[in-house]
Amino acid sequence: MKLLVLILVIAFDRFLEFFQRWRADRWPHRVTIEVFDTLAGMIGATAARLLVWLLLPAVLLVWLGIGGDGWIGWVVSLVVLLLVITPRNTSEINRQLLDAAGRDDQETVEAARRVLFDGTPVDSAKATTRQTGERIIVLAFSEWFLVLFWFVLLGPAGALFYRLTEWLAQAPDPEAGSGAASGADADGEGRLRRWQTKAHALLVLPAAPVFTVLMLLAGSFQRGLNAWRGDEALGREHGAMDGWEAGSIGLIARVGHAVIDVERADECLDENACLADQRTWYRAAHAIVLRALLFGLALVAVLTLIGWLP
């Protein structure tokens, strides 16, 4: 069942334009935060944060279980995944980046970079070819692989729980800016948000080495293996919220860069490289991502065939 759902999600993501428009507008993310803000005004930020974080995943887990068998489970799993994968529509943004670089369209390239680097300390206008290539790989991990990883392990409840944890860890207390919260409420809210940040890091931790191995299989194995180590500073550069998460994201970025194998790599990575040379690097990074995800899908197929996955 899970294998079929994964195949359908990949097909729908590619061919159903209205899902792409929703994600380009960040509709699921915005609705989640709007619901959180509304509930915070009614029952307090701490209670609202707990309710939005745990209620729906718990309902899905009790209702469908981990496997989500049956046609209702299939439909619910498909809808949940389509709503929580690639919240910034990175699949389409990557295609726009490649097409624009091929046309020497600097304006569209810069617009694509702004979307890719949103939420990071990197100035997209000054982003290097290496940083952009790493960003393509890191976003494939955080926006695609992590959701699918937790879906395979825990069903639609796991996928939804991961994405809600990420969104709420990023969301500030709606009362913090107004100063309306009392000291005790503010402390409780801040503590709960820190727990969510740590929970998000823990959810990232087991998935990072799995995706790293898939990248090693998809690219230059030996160079990637030599680069295998966490890099907290690099993870922070890509917007990690916690030290543990930063180490995992830094690992993905380091190994992702190392496994890319193209001719004239030095020219592609030169600070003054033309868009055509940059495109060669971006296309190689995108190819690594696609091959790694396909290897992951093949692994799910094998585990399904031998009966280890429902």
Helices 90-102 and 275-305 cross at an angle (nearest 10°) of: 150
Give me the phi and psi of 19, to 5 degrees please. Answer: -65, -35
DSSP calls for 159-171: HHHHHHHHHHHHP
Print pLDDT tens along the chain (310 aa).
788 899 998 888 777 666 667 676 788 899 999 999 999 999 988 999 999 999 999 999 999 887 767 888 889 999 999 889 887 778 888 889 999 999 999 999 999 999 999 989 999 999 999 999 999 999 999 999 999 999 999 999 999 999 999 999 999 877 655 555 555 555 666 889 999 999 999 999 999 999 999 999 999 999 999 999 888 999 999 999 999 999 999 999 999 999 998 877 887 888 778 898 999 999 999 999 999 999 999 999 999 889 888 7
Report the alpha-carbon distance of residue 308 to residue 206 in Å, rounded.
Answer: 19
Q: Where are the beta strands (DSSP E) in 74-209?
A: none
pLDDT at 87: 77
DSSP state, 124? G
Is the distance from CB of 260 to CB of 220 less than 8 angstroms?
yes
CA atoms within 13 A on the CB side of 177: 4
Report the alpha-carbon distance of residue 177 to residue 11 in Å, rounded.
Answer: 42
Is the distance from CB of 258 to CB of 223 less than 8 angstroms?
yes
pTM here is 0.92
Amino acid making up residue 201:
A
Residues of the chain by 3-state class (helix, strand, coil), percent to 5: 80, 0, 20
pLDDT at 181: 53
